[in-house]
Chains A and B, each alone.
Chain A
């Protein structure tokens, strides 16, 4: 059974309309493909942004995802398109990160946090920045599991399907990711006091 999040992505308009759009895109209709991109751009760019941590990399990844979509239109149907896009987005972001690693180890987190402006420590902006940074402290798999589960709202089984893992593995990754994030925030807060 699909989660509400995945169903909502796929229920942007009528199933017939989605099929017609996909067929037209397959036939080479660029307007139809543009419509297909508009329908799924939030899914792709937002997920890529959460995984990559910056807009520039997220846009690069999104471009690659849509080009792959174009090349694979023949193999896809509207029923599994959202799951396919999530999977490709995660893979493209992983590939980009391997080429240009930027993960900050958790042990370095206090140094990173110390670079912040003390005057903003209590502010909302700092809290936002802190939470955004906390995602970067995670390993690729933990981050992907957490983003898909907690931010995209997929079920654990759907996350497992996207990542090609078992439900048990995903549950473990999600719990570790939440604990690491909480640990990062706690260590940062102690340092501020």
Chain B
């Protein structure tokens, strides 16, 4: 067995060796074939080299010919260069000449530029001078025109003067004639003047006489005035004294001897007292009234509200049943003499109280309103009133519309009111209804303050 297996294995090895030999045979065949191809290629390459050699020989022959040509050209170029050098030198010289000329031209240029500038300045100056001349020319032309006009005017005036001169000659003749006439007239006037002078003297004499008469009359009036002044002083002083004595002595009779009189006697004594008292009041009122005409009136703004308030406070008497009720509205200020205006209010308000005394109540309404440049004041009562048919007697001196027994009084209160108001350039008036009441109005100038 082992020997068999060895033989098998050896067999197999011999088979593998045979396969490898077959492959190596095939390789050798391929390498042989390749060597034959390479030989064929080398023959072709040899032939090619031969052809290239031949070509190079042809080229060398051509180069020799070209070389000969170049040598000839070189010689030509050298002769040309020598000619160019000569020409170059010539150009350098010309260039130098040109540069010198250029420098000269630059200097000449600058000179020209300077001259140009100068000429421009001069040109400008000439332009200005030209304008000035043109303006002067124009002015001269205007002046020339004006002179022409003036000339014409003078010529016209000359003509006029000549005409006027001719007229004056005529007028002169006329004047000479008139002069003659005037001389004649002057003579007549001198005569007339003499007559006038005589008349004037007569008038002067008459005037002097008149003046003398005026002086005499004035002196008379002044003395009458003085007499009147001393008369009222006497009335005041000397008439009051005896009345005062009558009143005083009668009072003594009543006080110290009263028990010696019966009822009638006592009544008579009281009548004497009352009458003397009334006489005193009459004298006082008459004096007050006559004084009004002489008193200087001092016109100033008057605060009516405070003035009426003061008068009301003075007149209200707290005794008795019929205490007056006042309804005072706005009282505008007016211009007047305060003391005189106060007298107006006293008289009007005391009248209103007096004539209300038989009424159950006394209501007095006081107010004011403006009418143009005047302020109108009103005092209204609801008292006895009066019959308007006797209105024209209302403001008269010592005029009374009621009896003394009914309402006491002297009849001068309203006359005083009217005189005061008139002296203020105002007016006083009244409206009344018998037994219904009376409204008094008086106006005063508006206060400007």
Answer yes or no: are A and B bound together in one complex.
no
Residues of B within 8 A of A (CB): none
Residues of A within 8 A of B (CB): none
